[in-house]
A and B are shown apart, each in its own frame.
Chain A
Amino acid sequence: MVAYSKKVMEHFMNPRNVGEIKDADGIGEIGNPVCGDMMSFYIKVKDNKLEDIKFKTFGCGAAIAVSSMVSEAAKGKTLDEALRITNKDIAKKLGGLPKNKLHCSNLGADALHKAIKDYLDKKGK
């Protein structure tokens, strides 16, 4: 089928951190069903660290695997560290993505960063 790496398929079939956080400190939503993919990230922050991350994704195998990998890569990291995670890092960690699926990986880190910014905005107020 689609030429996904083993790592992508593993994350797609067993995605980490799926769900929502009811009292999330920050929420980041990106994409919409019209463009094909949609991701929502929920974060819980403690001592400037991402204590918990959950996500929900509407999209293809790559979109789901990317979300899962982002959540795994960022969990436990400081906010600064998490903000430094790039979409490229995620694609690399997944053993690469088919060329026409790279746009999916572009959503993952962006959604996480949006959630962190949401948290920082709320905190700033």
Chain B
Amino acid sequence: MNSKIKKDSKKRIFFDNASTTRIDDQVFKEMESYFRENYGNPSSLHDFGELAKSAVESARKKVANLIGASAEEIYFTSCGTESNNLALWGLARALKGKGNHIISSVIEHHSVLNPLKEMKKNGWNISLVPVDECGLINTKDIENEITDSTILISIMHANNEIGTIQKLKEISLIAKKNNIIFHSDGMATAGIIPVNVRELGIDAYSFSAQQLHGPKGVAALFIKKGTRIKPIFLGGTQEKGRRAGTENVPGIVGFGKACELAKIKMEDNIKYISKLRDNLINGIINKVKNVKLNGHTTDRLPGNVHISFKYIEGESILLMLNMEGIAAASGSSCTSQALKSSHVLNAIGLSPTMAQGSVLFSLGKYNTAEEVSRLLEVLPPIVKRLREMSPIYKE
């Protein structure tokens, strides 16, 4: 948009780490030889294939290790959306003889909600539990929905928009008690906060490389050993027949490295990013009147700053920030192709005006205190300017 800013990449600030993350240089380096030299197909018998296969298996261990799983429980896919689709269709179809009822929540990602919508058309019964104003599910609501035909519960670990972290352990206990399979979409959490599928008692967990400084185009689904699942891609016998298709070897290698780094650095990263987050939240609240922090005050992702600016609209804020080289996101209807404000913001009962004025700043390990200061410098005048233009603004 502004060519001067675009050319000077040093000035660009990425506060949209919920959408994707910058690949770690070490990850990128690790991947390189699997494009150029070790480009074999893991299914091939020759040395090229063998090398690729051992790289995939070594990555599988690292990916499994991130979430406390064993390597044989990790299935590689092409993206988070595929992992969620495989989990929902695959588990539900494997359990079809047992029942046809699935419980999920109203704030799930579209890669869960839209498959569920389609499944509803295909004979499954779907119940979506609500959330409170902080985005938390009341586990009693899940319990109340359970019937004899409930086969699957799918609840996201943390919400990608407002950052609220659900009480997965409580939900898994309910699932276990009722002999129901429990899947969780961990796209916003894996590599960001500690995840241990054993401690949490989860049967299936989706997570993606691009959310944890790995490459795009590769993700995983953890399926607990002994859990039945039907494939949605039919073809070769890759991934033990549960996900046909030639493996994205460089991507998987990168995913492995990214998981390894995320695990080693997790505590430091959480400390560092939460501090930036808190400084940004406090800075905005101190400098700008009539704002509201959405989401949960404590059960919140380390990098999540989701704020509604009263009287103004999110896309306008994003455009002006973009002119300053700052990237953020919004749940405003004006920013969505469908022209609908975010279903998550509706679900927490945010008023339409406040949903329109919402901005998500999602922070990551590459953000700095200087970048937060810069945002705190440019944001108040932008809000002021837009408010002065707004017919609903009252001082």
A101 to chain B, nearest CB (A): 8
CA distance A70 to B306 in the complex (A): 34
Q: How far is the CB of B343 from chain A (nearest CB, A)?
A: 15
- The one of A15, A29, A56, A60 in contact with B313, judged by C-beta atoms closer than 8 angstroms, is A60
Complex interface residues of chain A between 76 and 112 (CB less than 8 A to chain B)? 100, 103
Query: B-facing mask of A34-54, CB < 8 A → 1, else 0?
Result: 101111100000000000000
Instruction: Give the distance in Å from the alpha carbon of A4 to the alpha carbon of B334 in the complex.
Output: 13
Identify which of B311, B319, B353, B392 contacts A12 (C-beta below 8 A): B319
Q: A37-B334, A61-B315 are in contact. Are A56 and B389 (CB under 8 A)?
A: yes
Which A residues are in CB contact (< 8 Å) with B315? 2, 60-61
A57 to B352, CA, bound (A): 16
| A interface: dominant SS | mixed
Give the residue name and chain of the A residue nearest to B354 (CB). Answer: A33
Contact among B319, B323, B341, B391 for A58, CB-based, below 8 A? B391
A33-B352, A36-B334 known; A60-B316 Cβ under 8 A: yes
Cβ-defined contact, B391 with A57, below 8 A:
yes
A36 — nearest CB in chain B belongs to which residue? Answer: B333
A64 touches B389 (CB 8 A): yes
| Among A1, A39, A60, A103, contact of B391 (Cβ-Cβ < 8 Å) | A39
Distance in angstroms between the alpha carbons of A78 and B353 in the assembled complex: 36
Query: For the complex, is B312 an interface residue (Cβ under 8 Å from A)?
Result: yes
CA distance A60 to B322 in the complex (A): 14
Complex CA distance for A43 and B311, rounded to whole angstroms: 23
**Interface size in chain B (residues, C-beta < 8 A):** 26
Quick check: B311 and A58 within 8 Å, CB to CB? yes
Q: Are A18 and B389 in contact (CB under 8 A)?
A: yes
Knowing A13-B323, A33-B356 are in contact, say whether A64-B392 is a contact too (CB < 8 A): no
Q: How many residues on A have C-beta within 8 angstroms of the other chain's C-beta atoms?
A: 27
Residues in B neighbouring A9, C-beta threshold 8 A: 1, 319
Question: Which B residues touch A33, using CB under 8 A?
Answer: 352-353, 356, 392
Contacts of A61 on B, CB cut-off 8 Å? 315-316, 319
Taking the closest CB of chain A, its distance from the CB of B64, in whole angstroms, is 38
Which residues in A have their C-beta under 8 angstroms from that of B337?
100
Report whether B391 and A29 are in contact in the complex, using a CB–CB cutoff of 8 Å. Answer: yes
Q: By CB atoms of chain B within 10 A, which of A15, A39, A57, A61 has the most?
A: A61
Contacts of A40 in B (CB 8 A): 391
Write out, one digit per residue, whether chain B residues 1-42 have a CB within 8 A of any chain A CB (1) or not (0): 100000000000000000000000000000000000000000
The minimal Cβ–Cβ distance linking A56 to chain B, given in whole angstroms, is 4
Docked CA distance A123–B176 (Å): 74
Chain A residues, CB < 8 A from B353? 33-34
Residues of B within 8 A of A29 (CB): 391
CA distance A103 to B389 in the complex (A): 20
Q: In the assembly, what is the distance between CA of A77 and CA of B335, in Å?
A: 34
Give A34 to B352 CA distance when docked, in angstroms: 5
Q: A1 with B389: in contact, given A58-B311, A58-B312, A64-B316 (CB under 8 Å)?
A: no
Q: State the 3 A-B residue pairs at the shortest beta-carbon distance, nearest first.
A: A60-B334, A56-B391, A60-B315
- The contact sample of 6 A-B pairs, CB cut-off 8 A, is A37-B313, A56-B391, A58-B311, A58-B313, A64-B389, A100-B339
B residues whose Cβ falls under 8 Å from a Cβ of A:
1, 311-313, 315-316, 318-320, 322-323, 332-335, 337, 339, 341, 352-353, 356, 388-392
Residues of A within 8 A of B (CB): 1-2, 4, 9, 12-13, 15, 18, 29, 33-34, 36-40, 56-64, 100, 103
